[in-house]
Structure 1
C-alpha cells in the first residue's frame, strides 16, 4: 500500500511540474505574440514614414532668394528680417526641445 501512495505522490508531482512548464510556455507564447504585434506595428510605421519622406524632399530655396530684387533685399536687411527669422527659428527649436524633457508641461 505504501508503494501505491508513493506512486500517486510521484504522479501528482509530475502533474504539477507539467502544469508549471505549461504555464511558462503560455507566458512565453503571449510574450512572442505581443512582440510580433509590436513588430508589425513598427514595420507599418516605418513604411508610412518612408512614404512621407518623399513628400519632404528639400526645396531649393536659393532660387527664390536670388529672385528677390536688390531693393527688396536691401529693405529686408535694413529692418532686420534675417535676424528676426533666426530668432524665431531658434525659439521654436528650443520650445520643441523643452517639450521632450519629462515633467514639463506639454503644449506650453
Structure 2
C-alpha cells in the first residue's frame, strides 16, 4: 500500500511540476507577445519611412553641391570661417523637424 501512495504522490508532483512549467511558458510567451505588440508598429512605421526615403530622388540636391567647387578658394574659406555650412545644416534640420511634427496630430499649435 505504501508503494501505491508513493507512486500516486510522484504522479501528483509530476502534474504540479508540469502545470508550473506550463505557467512559466505561458508567462514567457505573453511577455514576448507584449514586447512585439509594442515594437511591431514602430518597426512598420520605420520601414515605411525607409521605403519613402529610398524612393526619393536627391539628384537636384547633389547637382547643386558641385557649385561649391566652382567658387574661388578665398570665398569658400570665408564662408567656412563664418560657419555657413553648419548654419545651413541647422536650418535644414529645423525645417525637417518642423515638417515631421506637422505629421503628428495635436502638435499643430503654432503653425
Q: TM-score, normalised by structure 2?
A: 0.51
Residue-pair matches, total? 80
Separation in 2 of the partners of 1:76 and 1:34?
60
Choose between structure 1 and 2: higher helix proportion: 2
Q: Which residue of 1 aligns with 2:47?
A: 50
Separation in 2 of the partners of 1:76 and 1:30?
66
- How far the C-alpha of 1:63 sits from its partner, in A, is 5.0
Unaligned runs of 5+ in 1: 90-108
Larger Rg: 1
When residues 50 and 76 of structure 1 are mapped into structure 2, their CA distance, relative to the original with a 3 A threshold, is: farther
Query: What is the alpha-carbon root mean square deviation over aligned residues?
Result: 3.4
> Does structure 1 residue 35 correspond to structure 2 residue 36?
no
Separation in 1 of the partners of 2:8 and 2:29?
31
Q: TM-score, normalised by structure 1?
A: 0.52
Separation in 1 of the partners of 2:46 and 2:63?
28
